[in-house]
Structure 1
């Protein structure tokens, strides 16, 4: 996981869910059904979420 100014570029599902104030299951559903407003990346079969995408979503930007 790369860092820029001490901030991670990606987060695991549990942490991303906390940032978005959603349940981790919601993000997993978005990934599985490809129906969410953002898409994860997969690292060794695990989901990871781009911090930049999370920030855009929080600021109401359409991805």
Structure 2
């Protein structure tokens, strides 16, 4: 089972910068697009995240459930 690093006194701004740099270095977005090339399009039925800030895991979970019920 994979364990995640626990962080005390998080600096979310710094964590965000580190994660973005990692994604850019590994070209994760470009890889994700290349992996889906030629595949059928995937549509999210639930709208974009709230405009007033970064989504929390509770937003992600609720919208995933809403999307699954609409789709299936």
TM-score, scaled relative to structure 2: 0.22
- Pick the structure with more helix per residue: 2
Instruction: From the two aligned structures, give the one with the greater strand fraction.
Output: 1
Q: Which has the higher contact order (CA 8 A, sep 6+)?
A: 1
